[in-house]
Amino acid sequence: MSNNLKKFRDYFFIIGVAILFFMAYKLGFTTIMDNLSQTGWWFLAILSIWILVYYTNALSLSIIIGVGNNEQKKVSNWHLFKLTISAYAINYITPLGIGGEPYKVLELRSNLGTHKATSSVLLYIMMHYVSHFIFWFLSVPLFLTIVPVIPASIKIILWAIIIGSVILIYSGFTVYKKGIIGKAIKLGCKLPFVGRRIRIYKVRNQERIEEMDFLIGDLYNNNKKKFFLSLGVELLSRYISCLEVYFMIMPMSFEISFIQCILIVSFATLVANIFFFAPMQMGVREGGFALAVSFLSIPAGLGVYIGLCTRIRELFWILIGIGLTKLKFAPK
């Protein structure tokens, strides 16, 4: 194991544990215990749902890694499953939620090489975001079907979601075809202060940049079957995650349909992504759920309760993910 990887693991383990306790403190230990007692044994079902979610995420990445050769044989699905949980835990605790991807690259490069590891992780990030865009886009017709009376202001928001999702999906497919590293570096060359260094890097590493963009575009251009399989599996994970809202409301003796759960999650995640810059999204997630349930004529208090349960579930999986950074998988 390289010293950089060991330092990276140790750094996130220490920082992760500290932030985990800070989040629990801000949420309130009494609040956590009250929600656990209110939810009861259903909390086991809520936590278990995310085993399926993380496994489908790992499966999507596994499909990407295996394109063009048998690279997936070098990295087991269980290894990817462990990396997925750890990466999402790191994303929860790092500014802008971007620390998990470098961690994945560092962990995978010994098996796949730096270029393959980097291009695979970047491609998975695009799968993750585009599946979100498709999820939001498909949720609008459900909203129109379920809600009988929709104010004009909400209709404007719905049309904005449709148009925005279409634009973002189209942009995502452009990246799938041509890659993104070359374009990002080209834009970076125009930045003040650092533009000159980026231009020097571009000249020295042009061949590597082109190789990684080729690896990113190879999946869509030459293996569309696996491309849509990976995207479909990632989209499936969005719908699996909606089951947790259903299990959260079950102990409250309130009737709710799975379609309503989809709408609640889609709106709440949309709000969370709009305010991605909020530190650890404190209050944003809870507010998103409260707004989402109010649109469906569900008491806003249930939205706050769902937000708190979600936060407790996150704390649990952050603890597991940070712990897994210390667990080493031997290369196959």
Domain tally for the chain? 1
Mean pLDDT of 204-217: 74
pLDDT value at 329 more than 60: no
pLDDT tens digits for 265-310?
A: 888 888 777 766 555 556 667 677 777 777 777 777 777 788 778 8
Cβ atoms of residues 67 and 226 within 8 Å: yes
Is residue 315 domain-resident?
yes
What lies within 8 Å, CB to CB, of 230 at 6+ separation is 60, 61, 63, 64, 127, 219
**pLDDT bucket at 31, cuts 50 / 70 / 90:** low
Is residue 93 domain-resident?
yes
Q: What is the pTM of this model?
A: 0.82
Is residue 204 domain-resident?
no
Is residue 188 domain-resident?
no
Task: Give the residue carrying structure tokens 């997936």.
Answer: 72
Is residue 184 domain-resident?
no
pLDDT tens digits for 58-68?
A: 999 999 888 65
Is residue 213 domain-resident?
no
> Could you tell me the residue range of the domain that residue 141 belongs to?
3-147+234-324
CA distance 101 to 91: 8
Is residue 260 domain-resident?
yes
pLDDT, greater one: 26 or 231: 231
Cβ atoms of residues 321 and 307 within 8 Å: no
Is residue 152 domain-resident?
no
